[in-house]
Amino acid sequence: MSEIKQNCRICSKEFVVNEWEQAHLQKMGGFPLPTLCIDHRHQRRFAYRNERKLYKDNCDFSGKDIISIYSPDKNLKVYSQEIWWSDKWDGRDYGRDFDFNRPFFDQFQELRLAVPRMSLLNSNGENSEYCNLTTDNKNCYLVFGGDFNQDALYSIFCFYSRDVADLYWVNKSELIYDSIDCANCYNIKHAQNTYNCRDGSFLFDCRNCEYCVGCVGLRAKKYHIFNQAYSPEDYAKKVRELRLDTWSGVQKFKIEFDKFKLNFPMLFASIVNCENCSGDKIKDAKNCENCFDIYGPVEDCKDVFLGGWSLKDALSSSHIGHKSEIAYESIGIPGVNVTAFSSFVWFGSNVYYSDTVAYCNNIFGCTNLHHAEYCILNKQYSKEEYENLRAKIIEHMKKTGEWGEFMPMKNSLFAYNETVAQDFFPKSKDAALSECIKWLDEEVREIKTQDIPDSIQDVKDDITQATFTCEKTGRPYRIVPAELKLYRQMGIPIPHFAPETRNEMRINSRNPHKTWSRNCMKCSKPIKTSYSTDRPEKVYCEECYLAEVY
């Protein structure tokens, strides 16, 4: 078996389907070769994941107030989490026969629109109603995909942290603000790729440092500013002069720090304790190609974004792991053995073309079911009936050209800009509508100069009663009391950007989920890096980078 070259049917870009991929497709049931490049495959799946858009609604079963990821104007039946998981209703009551005179996707979409949906996924939360895809949070507000936090605000993928705000991928930290890819830190602001540090701000790729500001690539240092050592007394004096408790001071320093970072080499990728891996942000993995945000143990994966925790044999999937095995073209998959073309499947096996199902085995084309097996379009069958009908539907889908394709983006229940697809593959409203993809018109206001005190020291309590306009996007936003308390505690000026705008800025500050073939800019060794060839940074291979830093 040799590599096969394909051309994406959307962008015409050539891509390769290697031998491992071909074997994986055969192992999963003889899927045809992909017709889309990996970017368009990721984009199509991401259009089904709404992480951060939340709405007030009423449970269509009980009438109680709920928070939902589905806006009321979508006219869907939405149940609270408690009702959805209860035995007070059964998704199989909405089961229907398959019509061989119609495409599968049309029938599945009609079922998805009919069956009551779970409002959001936010389990074991305490005073944390406005969170999604989370568990075991306390006193948290607008936290998404982050678990086991306390007093956390406006953060994505933060874990085991407390008294934090504006984070993206931060773990086991306290008093952290506006930081990305950090762990085991205390009292840190504006940091990225920083670990085991405390009492500092504007740090990039620092380890085991204390009392440092505006530093890059430091290891086990104290009292440094722009990588220059100071006495404790001079350090304190210099930090006061920077006025980092003011918005103007922070903005000025950000510009200086971005220029300063260009003086230092960047590691081509963060691949730690790995064997035969490519991509970025990979740890404890083996045989993972073109993968990003992978947390091991992980083995035998390709084109996976955000996966791990005992994941094996996954191809072209995302947000997947927790002992999942054998997956293809799926998103939001914990604890599943064999799944394909599915979204949000929790703990089960042999799940195909399904959406929002839990603890289900041997199902095909099902939605909003839990604890079920041998179902097709939510209708119950015997094992023999299920297997015979499933085989006939597959043959039908081969004729319609649907077999081997994920659900089309136009069938997503969300507007494109409600989903993470907009984070990584942004579209304009006109472009989305021209492709028959839904779009959400956000509330925006004319951007005007606002009366926000420059220093947090001058902010009064009544600021929580005001509404501000984001200076970048025009989005209206407010400052909540818990937020103001944290800003005062950490000396953080009131932000001039809305929380969602700040989320977007942090996501865009990370390297993209793709690699380029380059050469180390010191030894000329070939490397595959997430730094594109037109970036201004100096990019080194691991050996040259370590020699420079240590």
Tell me, what amino acid is at 126?
A: E
> What letter does residue 409 receive in the DSSP assignment?
G
Burial of 3 (0-12, 13-18, 19+ CB in 10 A): exposed
> Does position 178 have pLDDT exceeding 80, yes or no?
yes
pLDDT tens profile 331-367 = 999 999 999 999 999 999 999 999 999 999 999 999 9
pLDDT at 292: 98
Output the CA–CA distances (angstroms, integers) from residue 41 to 210, 404, 425, 546, in the order listed. 43, 12, 11, 36
pLDDT in tens, 392-407: 999 999 999 999 999 9
What digits encode the pLDDT tens for the residues 74-121?
Answer: 999 999 999 999 999 999 999 999 999 999 999 999 999 999 999 999
Q: How far apart are CA 425 and CA 445, in angstroms?
A: 25
What residues have CB less than 8 Å from 357, skipping those under 6 apart? 342, 344, 345, 346, 348, 351, 363, 366, 367, 368, 369, 370, 372
- Yes or no: say if 161 and 151 are a contact pair by the CB < 8 Å rule: no
At 221 the pLDDT is 98
pLDDT at 25: 96
Residue 460, φ and ψ in degrees, nearest 5: -100, 165
pLDDT in tens, 278-309: 999 999 999 999 999 999 999 999 999 999 99
Which distant-in-sequence residues (6+ apart) come within 8 Å of 486 by Cβ? 151, 153, 163, 164, 165, 177, 492
Q: Residue 444 has what pLDDT?
A: 92
Tens digits of residue pLDDT in 250-288: 999 999 999 999 999 999 999 999 999 999 999 999 999
pLDDT in tens, 44-85: 999 999 999 999 999 999 999 999 999 999 999 999 999 999
pLDDT of residue 448: 81
Does pLDDT of 1 surpass 90? no
254: Cα within 13 Å, side-chain hemisphere:
12
Amino acid at 143: V
CB atoms within 10 A of CB 426: 12
Task: Tell me what percent of the residues of the chain surpass a pLDDT of 90.
Answer: 98
The answer on pLDDT for 449 being more than 80 is: no
426-436 pLDDT tens trace: 999 999 999 99
Tell me the Ramachandran region of residue 359: left when phi exceeds 0, alpha when psi lies from -120 to 50, beta otherwise: left
| pLDDT tens per residue, range 13-22 | 999 999 999 9
Nearest to 477 by CA among 175, 154, 224, 31: 154
In this prediction, residue 132 carries a pLDDT of 97
Contacts of 472 (CB under 8 A, 6+ apart): 497, 498, 501, 505
User: Which residues are within 8 A (CB) of 548 and not within 5 positions of it... i.e. 6 or more apart?
Assistant: 217, 264, 265, 522, 540
CA distance 400 to 354: 18
Query: Cβ(204)–Cβ(216) under 8 Å?
Result: yes
Q: What is the largest CA-CA distance in the chain?
A: 80
pLDDT (0 to 100) of residue 8:
98
Q: DSSP characters for 174-220?
A: EEEEEEEEEES-EEEEEEEEEES-EEEEEEES-BS-EEEEEEES-BS
Residues 37 and 182: their CA atoms lie apart, in Å, by 31
Reported confidence tier of residue 219, pLDDT bands at 50, 70, 90: very high
pLDDT-based confidence at 447, cuts 50/70/90? confident
DSSP letters, 265-281, are EEES--EES-EEEEEEE
pLDDT attached to residue 29: 85
Task: Give the model's pLDDT for residue 541.
Answer: 97
pLDDT at 550: 81
The 3-state DSSP composition of the chain as helix, strand, coil percent (nearest 5) reads: 25, 35, 40
Q: Note if the pTM is more than 0.75.
A: yes
Residue with tokens 């420079």: 548
Proportion of the chain above pLDDT 70, given as a percent: 100
Model confidence at 320, in pLDDT bands (50, 70, 90)?
very high
Query: What does the pLDDT look like over 468-494, one tens digit per residue?
Result: 999 999 999 999 999 999 999 999 999
